[in-house]
DNA sequence: GTCTATACACTGATAGAC
DNA sequence: GTCTATCAGTGTATAGAC
């Protein structure tokens, strides 16, 4: 459960709590009462801060998560310099520092549950925030085959997400170490296929 | 939408339809009415075939999915002979032939929504049906480090699941081809780390 | 085996007091 | 800015007719 300093603006607390809950369990499984309970507040009080109701709240917090992912990913990648391996390890480290973000659930369960325009909007933001930054990293390796860069980006994201889904007890090795190992394997394997 | 021959036993139709819907959208996002509608049936009629109600139905169909996955995986792996690469490609081909099975969503969204004993049961079956068969494949490579075999199995499952989550339009290459390519990359990369 | 009817709880949302 | 009260809608589940 999240902690807030005593004078964190109320709206921020609502958004932040909703973000965590929605990210963990998805749109359908979280009720407004769950969010209100976590804030020790009544369900009706949420509407003062988020007049748009549940769906608007979900869209707002998901957009926020995605924009933060984009900023964090790009910053991590930039700070890692020119080395592909370092860039990917930095990206993985940053993703693992964030709350789980189940891409598959979002696409298959959450999107169908909200309005089509909202779903379309979130799909676009997801693409821009998650895929685009990582695809750029791989485009250096696969200059001639952009679709290959695309699904290497998808692969990378799946890998990291998969690590987050493994139970804590699954391995004695901490997740960032697993990520580094997998990136080494992936890049060593990729060497035979790189075009540069 | 699924087709049934005219005299498929009614209970089987219920189970099978529920299996598809639950696998696609998860426990919370599917209502009994959704299932009944898909069967052109009234919600109350479901109780004749599945007296235990929603949660029991979910557990039953999820168990069924998992057992089929286990059987399918083991059959595909056995039929592929002794070659690791062929075994993994066969396993991936079989998984891709099945409806999506979102492991992350199941662990994070579906399990908390059902009773603890049921959740515990499903977690165990998931382990036995998905991880164990694949871990066995990797144990040949990592005889000395069983935990590495464990998370290579997890990695492999994440990869295939990730492929299923990509939108159809994402790549001109069909998913099984992507899977084969990724397995080649993974195994080439793994070569430096194998212990045999 | 499927239906109608209904009980009962839960959810999202609104109105209005303090 | 948070509360109580309330409502309509939806969801699971049961009873009983056909």
Query: pLDDT tens digits, residue range A95-111?
Result: 999 988 899 999 999 99
Nearest one of B40, B38, B36, B63 to B49, comparing CA atoms:
B36
Helices (H), A26-145: 32-38, 46-49, 53-79, 84-96, 103-105, 111-113, 116-126, 132-139
Neighbours of B90 (CB within 10 A): 21
The reply to whether residue A112 touches residue B25, judged by beta carbons under 8 angstroms, is yes
A110-CA/D10-C1' distance, Å = 18
* pLDDT at residue B122 greater than cutoff 60: yes
Rounded-to-integer distance, Cα A148 and Cα B97, Å: 22
Residue B173's pLDDT band (boundaries 50, 70, 90)?
confident
Which nt has its C1' nearest the CA of A28? C11
Q: Is B108 in CB contact (< 8 Å) with chain A?
A: yes
Assess contact for B25 and A108: CB atoms under 8 A: yes
What would the pLDDT profile of A4-54 be if each residue is shown by its tens digit? Answer: 877 778 899 999 999 999 999 999 999 999 999 999 999 999 999 999 999
Tens digits of per-residue pLDDT, B61-70? 999 999 999 9
DSSP label of B110: I
Domains of chain A: 10-190 (1.10.357.10)
> What count of other Cβ atoms lies within 10 Å of the Cβ of residue A124?
11
Q: Which residues of A touch B178 (CB under 8 A)?
A: 151
Q: Give percent of chain B with pLDDT exceeding 90.
A: 78
pLDDT band at B86 (very low <50, low <70, confident <90, very high): very high
Kindly state the tokens that stand for B56. Answer: 């029991």
Residue of chain B whose Cα is closest to the Cα of A167: B107
- For residue A31, the number of C-alpha atoms closer than 13 Å in the C-beta half-sphere is 8
Q: Within 7 Å: CB of B45 and strand C? A: yes
Cα–Cα distance, B3 to A183 (Å, whole number): 43
How far apart (Å, rounded) are the C-alpha atoms in residues A192 and A190? 5
Query: pLDDT at residue B115 above 80?
Result: yes
Residue nearest to nucleotide C13 (CA to C1'): A53
Q: Say whether pLDDT at B166 is over 70.
A: yes
Verify whether the Cβ–Cβ distance B102 to A102 is below 8 Å: yes
**Nucleotide nearest residue A48, measured CA to C1':** D1
Residues of B in contact with A184 (CB under 8 A): 189
Inter-chain CB pairs, A–B, below 8 Å: 157
pLDDT (0 to 100) of residue B141: 85
pLDDT for res A191: 85
In angstroms, the CA B24 to CA B30 distance is: 9
* pLDDT computed for residue A188 by the predictor: 92
pLDDT at B136: 95
């Amino acid at each position: 459960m999240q902690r807030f300093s005593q004078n964190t603006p109320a709206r921020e607390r609502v958004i932040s709590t909703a973000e965590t809950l929605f990210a963990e369990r998805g749109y359908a499984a979280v009720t407004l009462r769950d969010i209100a309970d976590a804030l020790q507040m009544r369900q009706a009080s949420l509407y003062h801060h988020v007049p748009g109701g549940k769906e608007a709240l979900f869209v707002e917090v998901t957009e926020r998560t995605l924009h933060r992912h984009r900023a964090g990913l790009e910053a991590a990648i930039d700070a890692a310099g020119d080395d592909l391996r370092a860039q990917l390890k930095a990206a993985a480290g940053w993703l693992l520092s964030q709350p789980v973000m189940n891409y598959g659930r979002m696409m298959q369960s959450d999107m169908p549950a909200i309005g089509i325009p909202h779903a379309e909007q979130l799909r676009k933001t997801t693409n821009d925030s998650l895929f685009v930054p990582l695809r750029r990293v791989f485009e250096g390796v696969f200059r001639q085959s952009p679709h290959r860069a695309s699904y290497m980006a998808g692969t990378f994201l799946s890998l990291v997400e998969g690590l987050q889904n493994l139970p804590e007890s699954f391995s004695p090795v901490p997740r960032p170490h697993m990520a580094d190992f997998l990136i080494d394997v992936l890049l060593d394997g990729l060497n035979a296929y790189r075009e540069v």
